[in-house]
Amino acid sequence: MSKEKNVVTLTYGCQMSERDAETLTEITRQEGYNRTNDLENADLIIVNTCCVRESAENKILGKIGDLKKLKDNNPNLKIAISGCMVQQPGALERLQKRAPHVDIWMGTHNLHEFSELLHRSDTGAKVAEIWQEPHETKESTPLAEKGKLQANVNIMYGCDNFCSYCIVPHVRGRERSRKPDDIVQEIKNLVANGCKEVTLLGQNVNSYGKDFVPPYDFADLLQEVDQIPDLLRIRFITSHPKDLSDKLIQAIAKGSKLCEHVHLPLQSGSNSILACMNRQYTREYYMSIVEKIRELLPQATLTTDIIVGFPGETEEDFEQTLAMINSVHYSQAFTFMYSKRSGTPAASMEDQIPLQVKKQRLQKLMSLQNEESYQLRQRMIGKCYEVLVEGPSKNNPNRLTGRTRGNILVVFDGPQEIIGSLVSLRILEAGSWTLVGELVESK
């Protein structure tokens, strides 16, 4: 019998990137590989990359460099690098020079070719495949993993927004939506394999279906998915504020499985910075959406992404971002220092902000948000929330963990049998990030 082959998949970046990594791992499973975390005994290592910020790229380049030692010790080891970093215009040559120990390079539009590329590299040949354009019918590989409670499902690919700081439209191509029937079928299959919660993924889910003739609305897709039997919860990311419709807010209010959580990237609270970022909304417009959500979905949690130190950002601009944190009351904010991405308009804007200033602003923003998160969680003490039980807690395997509909993590004591079901928990204690709860009743 031939020796079992092991694959280790490392992935960086957003959920879209994670979903791609799952696709690649599924392809290797079909090729007879067994998934492990053991780099030393791997026959294949996949590094699925991200290039949204320079810090991510540096970390990944370091990791790829580290893999050389493993390749030196085991010349039969195959190393495959995929994802956004590889797809950047002109990146391949630079990367190949820097990491000659890599066997396979593939761009974001070539995932479906992975098994072919693996075979082509059997002779020891170095292979690279990077399409500049996607191939519409080849984008989603269904996943066959059984017993997974939560799954990410692509509903669309790419982005048309060209925010001036962002590399994503340059490496993921133009917006293209998957057909509603294909999405519903994929989710039904996942549910048949034990999945209870899906997260619908797109760079801008609110413009889902606008590329169809006649156009189709994201809110209608949500209502269709809401009908799928045995699915317990539906989440979605990311919502671009400029495209978030009243119909969507109403659909969330109506749908029984639709979780009341909206990830609504603000990026900046200053109108002049928002204009330079090409975000196509003002702080006033953003606030009007927040008010509508608060009115129709009083239980909803809001999370956001914010960039500090965009070129030209003054102290006053930054103060306006802080003011938005005070008025929106996010349950969580993902905060970033602006990072120059070559090929994007912001990279050549004047008045780049010094690193020291960016760091100070990030610190200030994070401590304000931590306080907000803490206060929000404190207000939950004593109240009951529906939680989907996910499994043992990472920090204490004797306890269970799950998330509220608002996507807030709770740890609690309970029997293993309730994993995968909805329970009601009363909140007992709260920190900035986690809640401690107790079981009230099983639903």
At closest approach, how far in Å is the CB of 432 from ligand SF4? 26
Binding site for ligand SF4 (CB under 6 A): 159, 161-163, 166, 168-169, 203-204, 240
What are the two backbone dihedrals, phi and then psi, of residue 129, each rounded to the nearest 5 degrees?
A: -140, 115
Q: How many CA atoms lie within 13 A of 220 on its CB side?
A: 10
The pair of three-digit structure tokens given for residue 183, joined into one six-digit string: 């999405």
Give the closest residue to 352 by CA, choosing from 342, 365, 364, 340.
340
Residue 226 partner contact from ligand 5AD, ligand SF4, none using kind-dependent CB cut-offs of 5 to 8 Å: none
Angle between helices 315-328 and 283-296 (to 10 degrees): 10
Residues 1-60 that bind ligand 5AD (CB under 6 A): 14, 52-53
Does 279 bind ligand 5AD (CB under 6 A)? Our answer is no
Does 385 bind ligand 5AD (CB under 6 A)? Our answer is no
Nearer to ligand 5AD, 167 or 411 (CB): 167
From candidates 341, 358, 361, 403, binder to ligand 5AD by CB under 6 A: 341
Residues linked to residue 201 through DSSP beta bridges, in sequence order = 154, 237
Does 265 bind ligand 5AD (CB under 6 A)? Our answer is yes
From the list 106-114, 214-222, 332-340, 363-371, the region that binds ligand 5AD by CB under 6 A is 332-340
Nearer to ligand 5AD, 208 or 338 (CB): 338
Nearer to ligand 5AD, 201 or 427 (CB): 201
- DSSP label at residue 178: P
Give the closest residue to 309 by CA, choosing from 58, 61, 53.
53
At closest approach, how far in Å is the CB of 228 from ligand 5AD? 28
Residue 403 partner contact from ligand SF4, ligand 5AD, none using kind-dependent CB cut-offs of 5 to 8 Å: none
Tell me which amino acid residue 406 is: G
> 3-state DSSP: the chain helix, strand, coil percent, rounded to 5?
40, 25, 40
Q: How far lies 61's CA from each of 25, 51, 66, 202, 412, in Å?
A: 21, 11, 9, 26, 39
Nearer to ligand 5AD, 53 or 172 (CB): 53
SS3 call for 412? strand
From the list 140-148, 277-285, 334-342, 374-382, the region that binds ligand 5AD by CB under 6 A is 334-342
Q: How many CB atoms lie within 10 A of CB 34?
A: 11
Query: Which ranges of 310-381 does DSSP label H, i.e. alpha helix?
Result: 315-328, 355-378
The pair of three-digit structure tokens given for residue 367, joined into one six-digit string: 């401590």
Give the closest residue to 390 by CA, choosing from 375, 371, 407, 376.
407
At closest approach, how far in Å is the CB of 153 from ligand 5AD? 19
Residue 339 partner contact from ligand SF4, ligand 5AD, none using kind-dependent CB cut-offs of 5 to 8 Å: ligand 5AD
Residue 203 partner contact from ligand SF4, ligand 5AD, none using kind-dependent CB cut-offs of 5 to 8 Å: ligand SF4
Does 172 bind ligand 5AD (CB under 6 A)? Our answer is no
Q: How far lies 170's CA from each of 50, 140, 268, in Å?
A: 13, 20, 22
At closest approach, how far in Å is the CB of 204 from ligand SF4? 5
The pair of three-digit structure tokens given for residue 34, joined into one six-digit string: 């067994």
Does 220 bind ligand 5AD (CB under 6 A)? Our answer is no
At closest approach, how far in Å is the CB of 51 from ligand SF4? 12
Residue 162 partner contact from ligand SF4, ligand 5AD, none using kind-dependent CB cut-offs of 5 to 8 Å: ligand SF4
At closest approach, how far in Å is the CB of 15 from ligand SF4? 12
Nearer to ligand SF4, 165 or 385 (CB): 165
Q: How many CA atoms lie within 13 A of 165 on its CB side?
A: 24
- H and E: helices and strands count for the chain: 13, 19
At closest approach, how far in Å is the CB of 334 from ligand 5AD? 7
The residue ranges that bind ligand 5AD (CB under 6 A) are: 14, 52-53, 165-166, 265, 267, 305, 307, 336, 338-339, 341
